[in-house]
Chains A and B, each alone.
Chain A
Amino acid sequence: MARFLAGRCAILLATLLAASVLVFLVLQVLPGDPASIMLGTSARPDTLAAMHHQLGLDRPLWQRYPLWIAALLRGDFGVSYTYSVPVADLLRARIAISLPLALLAMALSVALAIPLGVFAAARRGHLSDTLVMGVAQLGVSVPNFWLGLLLVLLFSVKLGWLPAGGFAGPRSLLLPAVALALPQAAILARVTRSSVLETLGEDFVRTARAKGLSRAAALWRHAVPNALIPVITIMGLQFSFLLAGTIIIENVFNLPGLGRLIFQAIAQRDLIVVQDLVVLLAGSVIVVNFLVDLAYAALDPRLARA
């Protein structure tokens, strides 16, 4: 187990390093000079040069990358070019919205998808299975931003129950979380169903029945825990789609979260904010995948040895 953990941690660090190099290089290659965007197109060359020097952009790449990483490790995220405030403060305020949103969406998705998927598998071929899978097919095909607009029309405009946009307390996160969660839940429910169906055909489920377990007990005690192993992989993959989804959904609902921040920062060539944010998002995807690996090892004793 210790060797497994050490190996996974090494992979985690290597991936983070590679991601940060990639993000840094890609942003240097992209067109658009932050200084000229800050000062306007009519700025004089010597003003531009002074600004370049102030932002550190006049140094060569091989110096700027280590400086940036070293500062990140000290907790110094730099100062935003456009907001002129420390990026760390910006991030802190925005994470307070985006993290609860992502967690709520993930929780909703899992709480909906796994019971429905197991239910559909247990009632394979019945009307209820067809119904659940039909709705899931619909959910897979609906883009989350469009679903968000429909939800706003129904719950905000028609019924007036929930705010249509902006952030005014936790209630504002409900509709965006539902809009993010439903399409993901649809995919997860389909994966859960097929995984449970496959597991139900395994010999050990028949063994459980031969011990006198009822159909339901054999399902929940033996089939489902085995079936969840591949489902967890999909959940890990979905987390990255969820982050991409928050960028779109926060713009639809006008939520001041990380998604909106990165969107604006790209438009305004606020390179330091984009750099920090992309590394943060990449890091969270990598950490989630690390957690998925750990969950795997916890669920499946055969893996912990390897």
Chain B
Amino acid sequence: MSALLELDDLSVRLPAAGPVPLLDRVSLSLERGESLGVVGESGCGKSMAALAIMGLLPPGAVVSGGLRFDGQDLLAAPEAAWCALRGRRIGMVFQEPMTALNPIQRIGAQLAEGPRRHLRLGRGAAESEVLRLLDRVGLARISPDRYPHQLSGGQRQRVMIAMALACGPDLLLADEPTTALDMTIQGQILALLAELAAERRMALLLITHDLGVVARHAARTLVMYAGRVVETGPTPAVFARMAHPYTHGLFAASPHAIMAGGRRRLPTIQGQVPEPRARPPGCCFAPRCAAAAEDCRQSPPMLAPLDAGHLAACYHPRAAA
């Protein structure tokens, strides 16, 4: 049996933004019921990957490589086939709950749109389905006649999740689902996502810049930098070793590290993610890497296996602890 979602050396270029790919030969696979956390700084290509999987890249984007969902080659699929998958078998939750809902439509109507379209529900059936969905995401007391501006940010994100789950998808893409929310709400939303994923044996692709979120909610981790995968593997293995210096830097720069280590000042990774058009010839992280050697600046390292299922793209991976 093949994986539910397979990316095989998937590259995305936006000719309008320059010749360098924004997503550079990314490979990953996801089984039913599995959860994968994708981490990286902003601009590393995480959201681009999600939009590529949804087929909602900006106009003019050039995609190459392989993208398969449940055995179906999506890059060769016509637009009608995409429309049949989106919202039905692949759901997506976006980062900004404030702007992701239509401001002039009642939330009930927005929630019913997917089921009416994909499941051919009639008006009455759709109405009771909307109530069930609202109840399932903890909004039983919110009327479907409300407009988005009458809800809080956390409530809106729950509506977004209900919308993404409305047709019982096999795969849920969550792009920074909690970044715009305050800390206490973040935990509730993530717990809800994990619970719903487990309940329906739904695969979850959780995109975030927060390593703590990945550690708690994803079985596997994939670290991206400058459009490439730099480290991937089972979450415990990745966190135990942090073989790529970038992964280690990300962890050191996250607030969780302070809480664990009791340090005062939050360290940062020096420098910035290189602009796509200014990527160095060797390892993209070399200019910011303390361990960079001559070979790092010559040619980019390929992903190489370290141990069972754990890969890193680094000539000088950190040793296992």
> Which residue numbers of A lie inside 8 Å of B, CB to CB?
202-204, 206-215, 221-222, 225-226, 229, 299-302
Contact = CB atoms under 8 A, between A and B. Distances in A.
The list of the 4 closest CB pairs from A to B, nearest first, reads A212-B87, A211-B87, A203-B99, A212-B86
A73 to B, nearest CB: 39
A212 B117 contact: yes
Contacts of B85: 212
A204 B103 contact: yes
B150 to A, nearest CB: 8
B100 A204 contact: yes
A202 B105 CA distance: 14
11 contacts: A203-B99, A207-B160, A209-B56, A211-B113, A211-B166, A212-B87, A212-B118, A214-B79, A226-B104, A301-B103, A301-B104
Contact of B96 (A203, A208, A229): A203
A207 B83 contact: no
B161 interface: no
Contacts of A212: 83-88, 114, 117-118
A226 B86 CA distance: 23
A210 B92 contact: yes
Contacts of A209: 54, 56, 86
B94 interface: yes
Contacts of A213: 83, 87, 113, 117
B314 interface: no
Main secondary structure of the interface of A (DSSP, over half): helix
B101 interface: yes
Contacts of B54: 209-210
A299 B104 contact: yes
B102 to A, nearest CB: 4
A214 B92 contact: no
Contacts of B113: 208, 211, 213, 221
Contacts of B103: 204, 226, 300-302
Contacts of A226: 102-104
Question: Per DSSP, are chain B's interface residues mostly helix, strand or loop, or mixed?
Answer: mixed
A214 B83 contact: yes
Most chain B Cβ neighbours within 10 Å, of A207, A208, A215, A299: A207
B88 A204 contact: no
Contacts of B96: 203
A300 B101 contact: no
A206 B56 contact: yes
A225 B56 contact: no
A214 B88 CA distance: 13
A209 B105 CA distance: 16
Contacts of B101: 204, 207
B164 interface: yes
Nearest to B50: A210
Contacts of B147: 301-302
Given A226-B104, A299-B104, A210 B99 contact: no
A211 B114 contact: yes
Nearest to A212: B87
A173 B114 CA distance: 47
A208 B117 contact: no
B205 interface: no
Contacts of B114: 211-212
A207 B94 contact: yes
A305 B99 CA distance: 19
Contacts of B104: 225-226, 229, 299-302
B102 A211 contact: no
Contacts of A301: 103-104, 147, 149
Given A301-B104, A301-B149, A204 B99 contact: yes
Given A204-B100, A204-B101, A226-B103, A211 B117 contact: yes
Interface in B101-152: 101-105, 113-114, 117-118, 147, 149
A164 B164 CA distance: 61
Contacts of B88: 212
A174 to B, nearest CB: 36
Contacts of B80: 214
Contacts of A206: 56, 94, 100
Contacts of B86: 209-212
B87 A210 contact: yes
B49 to A, nearest CB: 15
Contacts of B117: 211-213
Given A204-B102, A301-B104, 4 more contacts: A203-B94, A206-B94, A225-B105, A301-B147
A299 B56 CA distance: 28
Given A212-B84, A212-B114, A214-B79, A207 B149 contact: no
Contacts of A214: 79-80, 83
Contacts of B94: 203, 206-207, 210
B163 interface: yes
Nearest to B102: A204
| Residue among B117, B160, B166 with most chain A CB within 10 A | B117
Nearest to A215: B79
A301 B104 CA distance: 6
A214 B84 CA distance: 9
Nearest to A222: B102
Contacts of A299: 104
A209 B83 CA distance: 8
B250 to A, nearest CB: 27
Interface in B145-200: 147, 149, 160, 163-164, 166
Contacts of A211: 86-87, 113-114, 117, 163, 166
A210 B56 contact: yes
A203 B100 contact: yes
Contacts of A215: 79
